[in-house]
Structure 1
């Protein structure tokens, strides 16, 4: 990033704050604090931890000024930045053959093609990073500012397997892991499992290496995802026997780690159990659900929540007129069995039903609801309306939209409603969200 645009760009200055009293305004940039050049919001928090700080500021007109800010103990400075990273996102330099981002079709919005591999986003947002682009200075900074925990993609520890999987220009990732652990940084590890590459004995070798190191808080094992827009991957533990084999292998590790440390430590993505048609483990085998955002334990959490609020769900279902089928719950293929079980338990037949939407946009083994696009949803809903006939409200899980309210193919909610011609309602993808959605439909019945 050039010197002309360096620093943190101010989005908002809060009323009554020290920053407002000092005359700060949106559009200005804070370049340094107490002589420390700011690369990101973490630098800002670290350098301005006290009650007084000297700032170098560049105005919207390009003029530079020096400002000293003062505040009371525990008073926030009152500044919100446009981006958490002032110097841009570090991108991935690896050439992983299984990289999902490299399998995206052309024509999507540019931000979806950014393959971030930035340890700062790992700390701030829980993104998994490979550590292959980490420098000695990065390690020193992580240790000094105690940026813990971090989320690390390990995949394998054997040199030959890592060469075929990661294809890094320079691979010091395992060394970096040891350096970070020595500095007291906790790590959550991820293994993307590729059939015939890093499963079986290679998986045992990787887990052995990780288990020998204090500070590896959890290990998540997820099946490699693939789309129809590539030709190198054809299978990913969708076969029940293949999935069951991995479950049995990991269970041995879980039992051993429970006995050694009192925690399961290593956990499998929900897909393995669903593909194997195996029971979902109880909550104790997910510890405190450290990798739920990685698709590990989501089914268990939903089922347990649904069981805990069974009476509320029953009342919500009964609020829908019998035999009206006034509610249609939209879901991807993976969650269909779980949702069907919840509806059956509430005797929702005749009141609420499922619309299972396959992911044809990505194809391959992509079946999670959060990766459904408008190009999948619109024709599925329109076709269902023609078949169904009676008015029904379609409950759309919120995970279909990003923080800006857009689907992966850039539809907002209003366009989704317009193109589908249906009564759509966005709900939280939780048992409570389902109950709230049912009650909302009862209060405002569908009219189309």
Structure 2
């Protein structure tokens, strides 16, 4: 069907090209030889964007190098490789024991990936392999500029999102002033330090009162208790299922808005946020005393 309908490009989670290790990662389920499958797709003219979810002590180190080199051997059919650290929830009872990367480990991964990418730039004229934004954050390193990510082939896997947001913030012109308005921006722990630096610019606009909330373990966290202090609540658009207005726990945006008692708006970029400041009807009105 893939060949008949020319379903290309495909986005494929590889994790490792070593059959025995891949069986371990898949919790003992014998899986097809992924490299053989990728070679077949490449021979059939199918283009692929691949992802490696990296688990410390399992598929990193030389295992990672081998996987990247195997995938690079299929260029140009394999058009990009994302290296993403494993994401862990609190609900891991009965699951394989995993942990997050330590800062030093994340830095070693980035150094290894960058060494290979430098070789591919000379060989293929593309970096081909990209560490995810989360890997840079875990390493405590500055995220590269937008140009580093070429044409953003792995943006959906969180590769280049931070650079894109910062580049948009840098080129967005701020209004000289706005009518009085309060905005509260909600973000996750990883992005909080980055958003904080950007919101500092918005606070310089006369009339704009901008607050940031970092959500921990739940969307709002314990710090939001008085809805009357808010005028507009802003959340990232990618917190919702695309075009559905529903969160991953099936809570509807409309229901959250009703519970909060204030308008809730989603944004993708810094310019979207600035646009809210200019939107008629979003500003503070005089309230009657109850």
TM-score exceeds 0.5: yes
CA, structure 1 residues 173+158, in 2 after alignment: closer, same or farther (shift >3 Å)? closer
2-structure distance, mates of 1:269, 1:170: 26
- Partner residue of 1:298? 161
TM-score, reference length from structure 1: 0.58
Q: Indicate which of 17, 20, 32 corresponds to 1:160.
A: 20
Query: Are 2:200 and 1:340 aligned?
Result: no
1-structure distance, mates of 2:240, 2:223: 17
In structure 1, the gaps of 5 or more residues are: 1-140, 361-375
- Partner residue of 1:173? 34
2-structure distance, mates of 1:184, 1:392: 53
Q: Greater Rg, structure 1 or structure 2? A: 1
**Alignment check: 8 A CA contact 1:406 1:412 kept:** yes
Mean CA deviation greater in 411-420 or 148-157: 411-420
Query: Are 2:272 and 1:433 aligned?
Result: yes
Query: Are 2:239 and 1:400 aligned?
Result: yes
Alpha-carbon offset, residue 153 of structure 1: 1.3
Note the 1:215-226 alignment, pairs <5 A: 215-226=77-88
1-structure distance, mates of 2:125, 2:147: 10
Query: Are 2:6 and 1:146 aligned?
Result: yes
**Alignment check: 8 A CA contact 2:169 2:270 kept:** yes
**Alignment check: 8 A CA contact 2:22 2:31 kept:** no
Alpha-carbon offset, residue 302 of structure 1: 0.6
Note the 1:355-434 alignment, pairs <5 A: 355-360=213-218, 376-377=219-220, 380=222, 382-383=224-225, 385=226, 390-402=229-241, 403-421=243-261, 423-434=262-273
Q: How many residue pairs align between the two structures?
A: 280
Query: Are 2:189 and 1:328 aligned?
Result: no
Alpha-carbon offset, residue 398 of structure 1: 2.6
The higher-RCO structure (CA 8 Å, 6+ apart) is 2
Alpha-carbon offset, residue 412 of structure 1: 1.9
Point out 4+ residue stretches in structure 1 off by more than 6 angstroms.
none
Alpha-carbon offset, residue 266 of structure 1: 0.4
- Partner residue of 1:319? 178
Look up the SS of the partner of 1:260 in the other structure: helix
**Alignment check: 8 A CA contact 1:226 1:233 kept:** no
Alpha-carbon offset, residue 401 of structure 1: 2.4
CA, structure 1 residues 380+401, in 2 after alignment: closer, same or farther (shift >3 Å)? farther
Query: Are 2:106 and 1:243 aligned?
Result: yes
Look up the SS of the partner of 1:334 in the other structure: coil
1-structure distance, mates of 2:25, 2:63: 12
Note the 1:190-229 alignment, pairs <5 A: 190-214=51-75, 215-229=77-91
Q: Indicate which of 257, 265, 268 corresponds to 2:128.
A: 265
Per-residue CA shift, 1:174-213, capped at 9, x if unaligned?
Answer: 2111111011111111101011000011000111111112
TM-score, reference length from structure 2: 0.87
- Partner residue of 1:138? none
Look up the SS of the partner of 2:191 in the other structure: helix
